[in-house]
Amino acid sequence: MTELDPFDIRLLASLQHDAAVTNQQLGERIGLSASQVSRRRQRLEEEGVIRRYRADVDAGAVGFSVVAFVGVALNAHSRQNARRFRDLVRALPEVQEAHVLTGDMDYMLKVAVADLAALSRFINDELLPHEAVRNVRSSIAMETLKDDNRLPFA
């Protein structure tokens, strides 16, 4: 784990809110010069604390109106089977998030698709026929109450 001082934390919190902010603007917000911000930002990127910068696109506004959470149980719990499933998940653009779980489901996938027919195709054509998969359960999100993915720095 990377050690973070109060300036690093304020820098990260500010970037979570607006990653398009300039180093000058960031410096004004957290009380550092633009060059100090640049050095800190670069260090945090190199250490993998800042993983990437990207636009936050509204899925519904661009035609992905169905968000579903898909639980997957594997048919065998071997390293090779898990690797096959991970390779599948990484290749499926519909999968927004994938998590390894404890309990009766091995994985939980957050999936974004255009409509229910697309969700059906995703489950029936991609997941269920895969050799690693034993069982799939899905739940469709009816409404999203919060979707900001920000860490609670303070």
Cα–Cα distance, 98 to 4 (Å, whole number): 27
Question: Domain extents for the chain?
Answer: 6-46, 60-140
Cα–Cα distance, 31 to 53 (Å, whole number): 22
Computed over every residue of the chain, the mean pLDDT equals 96
Q: What pLDDT sits at residue 148?
A: 87
Stated pTM of the model = 0.88
Q: Quick check: 82 pLDDT over 90? A: yes
CA atoms lying within 13 Å on the CB side of residue 148: 10
Burial class (CB in 10 A: 0-12, 13-18, 19+), 51: exposed
Q: Which CATH architecture has domain 60-140?
A: 2-Layer Sandwich (3.30)
pLDDT digit string (tens) for 16-70?
999 999 999 999 999 999 999 999 999 999 999 999 999 999 999 999 999 999 9
Fold classified for 6-46: Arc Repressor Mutant, subunit A (1.10.10)
User: Identical fold at 6-46 and 60-140?
Assistant: no
- CB atoms < 10 A from the CB of 85, how many? 22
Q: What pLDDT sits at residue 98?
A: 98
Cα–Cα distance, 137 to 69 (Å, whole number): 8
Q: What is the dihedral of CA 75, 77, 83, 86, to 10 degrees?
A: 60
Q: Quick check: 107 pLDDT over 80? A: yes
